[in-house]
Amino acid sequence: MTNCDKPVDYIKSLYTRRWGIETTFRHLKYALGLVSFHAKKLEGILQEIFARLTFYNAVKMTASKVIIRERRTKYRYKISFSDACYICRLFFRHQIPSKQVEIYVQSYLCPIRPDRQARREVRHQTLVDFTYRIA
């Protein structure tokens, strides 16, 4: 391995703490569309990043207020982050009222499946073409 003199439990705890950061980056890239930028200049790119981070925090705050009722099922459930993003987008576009946001978020749950052994399906990303830049 390495010449690291740290105990195994310490390394495991570091990995566990890092996993939350990796999940956040995945949410930012795929659920919030931070895979490709629309801007060309640095200021525009930074503005897109900060806008997505702000929206991420708004979605997380909304999801944290939702109460997940316990069910007598095989799995425990958590809020689907991508569906929560979609619902918050609808709210910010004034397409659903604020009273309905928590109800909608609560209705989109996904099961927590510990120790899954399914192979990861790798999908290649398609090219994002910004044709408006050509003009």
Q: List, for residues 33-59, the tens digit of each pLDDT value.
A: 888 888 889 999 999 999 999 999 999
pLDDT tens digits for range 80-99: 899 999 999 999 999 999 99
Q: How confident is the model at residue 6 (pLDDT cuts 50, 70, 90)?
A: confident
Over range 4-22, report the average pLDDT: 82
Rounded Cα–Cα distance for residues 122 and 22 (Å): 17
Whole-model pTM: value is: 0.73
**Contact call for residues 80 and 73 (beta carbons, < 8 A):** no
DSSP string, 54-86: HHHHHHHHHHHHPPPPP-SSSSEEEE-HHHHHH
Cα→Cα distances 126→27, 60, 117, 129, Å: 18, 28, 27, 9
